[in-house]
Amino acid sequence: MFTLLKDAFQAKDIRKKILFTLGILVIFRIGTHLTVPGVDASALKGLADSSNGLFSLLNTFGGGALSSYSIFALGVSPYITASIVIQLLQMDIIPKFVEWAKQGEVGRRKLNQVTRYVTIGLAFVQAIGISFGFNALTGTGLIKDPSVSTYLSIALILTAGTMLVMWMGEQITVKGFGNGTSMIIFSGIIAKIPSDVVTYYNTQIRNAGDELTVAILFTVALLIAIAAVVIIVIYIENAKRKIPIQYSKRATGSNQSSFLPLKVNSAGVIPVIFASSFITTPQTLLGFLTQSNIDASWFNVLNTVFNLEEPIGAALYTLLIVLFTYFYAFIQVNPEKVAENLQKQGGYIPSVRPGKPTQNFISRTLTNLSTVGAIYLGVIALLPIIASNLWDLPSSLALGGTSLLIVVGVALDSVRQLEGQMIKRSYQGFIQ
């Protein structure tokens, strides 16, 4: 790993990409400490210490930006939700989107433009929702002057912040290193680790008293469990099934064979990010109704259903992860296109007829692999939530599984991309 980084920094073009990415992430981290005007961020301390699913989730993915109610408080959450909506609408729901999806690069640019417009709308609604909701939960202490103009100005600032974060993510993807959106979430989670460690120390060890030995043993067991989960995540993320592909002599001049690698978890960490962002939408809408319905039974039921700290909310969260795993796996690996490309190239899977039978075979294989991947993602995300409720751990640790999946997944993808760029550079040097 260190040798790879050393070689990468010695290559000027790759070094520029890495430094550009780090520069953007530094700007993002600075922005997370710029509090929105007209807001008393200290009023949120009670929510940070309590078990509030929406606050913990948004704060974790924003790297603590919500705890200071900064201009980047919403992070990339609205953009991810908008991406989900647009991808769902491409599935024969809106014919125009289906047509654009088949137009290659031109269609992709059109869909990206629509995604940006949807992001603006969602960010504005979400900004007003969390401002209303958190102001009510903090006893009207968050917003200094709770007037319509104040809420609108705060919503505009938070929406502009989200669009700026989205733009920075796109710049990282185009000019930097790695997937921009994932890198921003990754940096936010990493930045919050020191404060989470301090919180854990203060709540579990410092105040343990006579049970200090038990607390230390529990901490050691927790560290071992985290290490074991990291190993499992790395193993599953790298696990794949190689489907043999045979090419006819007529197509290549000689009989050749290769493999079609299908990962056990083809969707990567995207289902976790999608599920996390998707579950915040109902909570945001409930934020509009907090002040006038906080004692209503239906409001409390819905608030419980969409709260990750509650059993039913955790179960819904896990179900969303499972569903998005299947959904995104078939987006990443389109069986129809794979079968069509194999047929055009004169390739076939031994004992499977080309065309529709090949498509069905790949679909069945992908479904079986995604079942394992979905169970793995769901269990890793759910176990820390259960552990947090059983042993009264800090709320940030309840999202530890989600954070761990994202951190390890993004790190592995980044290493693969770095290795790919180094290999590509070596080939170019050899050709020259």
Mean per-residue pLDDT, 71-95:
83
Question: Cβ neighbours of residue 14 under 8 Å, at least 6 residues apart?
Answer: 8, 177, 418, 421, 422, 425
Per the CB < 8 A criterion, the answer to whether 116 and 166 are in contact is yes
- Asked if pLDDT for residue 327 goes beyond 50, the answer is yes
């579990």: which residue's tokens?
Answer: 204
Task: Tell me the residue range of the domain where 332 lies.
Answer: 2-431
239-284 per-position pLDDT tens digit? 888 888 887 765 455 556 688 888 888 888 788 878 877 787 787 7
Task: Look at residue 291 in the predicted model and tell me its pLDDT.
Answer: 66
- Asked if pLDDT for residue 428 goes beyond 60, the answer is no
- Asked if pLDDT for residue 411 goes beyond 70, the answer is yes
SS3 149: helix
Task: Look at residue 154 in the predicted model and tell me its pLDDT.
Answer: 92
Q: How many helices (H) and strands (E) does the chain have?
A: 19, 3
Task: Look at residue 120 in the predicted model and tell me its pLDDT.
Answer: 93
Cα–Cα distance measured from residue 309 to residue 374, given in angstroms and rounded to the nearest whole number: 21
403 vs 155, higher pLDDT: 155
Task: Look at residue 430 in the predicted model and tell me its pLDDT.
Answer: 46
Task: Look at residue 26 in the predicted model and tell me its pLDDT.
Answer: 92
Which of 186, 201, 77, 168 has the alpha carbon at shortest distance from 130?
Answer: 77
Task: Provide the token pair at 110.
Answer: 């059109």
pLDDT band of residue 27 (cuts 50, 70, 90) is very high
- Asked if pLDDT for residue 75 goes beyond 90, the answer is no
280-309 per-position pLDDT tens digit? 778 777 766 766 777 788 888 888 888 777
Per the CB < 8 A criterion, the answer to whether 251 and 245 are in contact is no
The CATH number linked to 203 is 1.10.3370.10
Per the CB < 8 A criterion, the answer to whether 152 and 131 are in contact is no
Q: What angle do CA 331, 335, 338 make, to 5 degrees?
A: 105
C-beta neighbour count of 268 within 10 angstroms = 24
Percent of the chain with pLDDT strictly greater than 70: 88
Number of domains in the chain: 1
Cα–Cα distance measured from residue 16 to residue 10, given in angstroms and rounded to the nearest whole number: 10
56 vs 52, higher pLDDT: 56
Residue 34 CA, distance from chain mean position: 24
Per the CB < 8 A criterion, the answer to whether 267 and 329 are in contact is yes
Please tell me the least confidently modeled range out of 43-47, 273-277, 377-381: 43-47
Per the CB < 8 A criterion, the answer to whether 422 and 14 are in contact is yes
pLDDT, averaged across the chain: 81
pTM: predicted TM-score of the whole model, two decimal places: 0.80
Phi-psi region of 247 (alpha: psi -120 to 50; beta: other; left: phi over 0): beta
Task: Look at residue 124 in the predicted model and tell me its pLDDT.
Answer: 93
Which of 100, 102, 122, 95 has the alpha carbon at shortest distance from 110?
Answer: 100
Cα–Cα distance measured from residue 169 to residue 183, given in angstroms and rounded to the nearest whole number: 8
- Asked if pLDDT for residue 62 goes beyond 90, the answer is no
Cα–Cα distance measured from residue 308 to residue 27, given in angstroms and rounded to the nearest whole number: 30
Per the CB < 8 A criterion, the answer to whether 99 and 188 are in contact is no
- Asked if pLDDT for residue 187 goes beyond 50, the answer is yes
Task: Look at residue 3 in the predicted model and tell me its pLDDT.
Answer: 74
C-beta neighbour count of 4 within 10 angstroms = 12
219 vs 92, higher pLDDT: 219
Mean per-residue pLDDT, 216-237:
87
Residue 266 main-chain phi, psi, to 5 deg: -65, -25
Cα–Cα distance measured from residue 385 to residue 395, given in angstroms and rounded to the nearest whole number: 8
C-beta neighbour count of 213 within 10 angstroms = 9
Residue 332 main-chain phi, psi, to 5 deg: -65, -45
Q: Which helix (H) or strand (E) holds 348?
A: strand 347-348
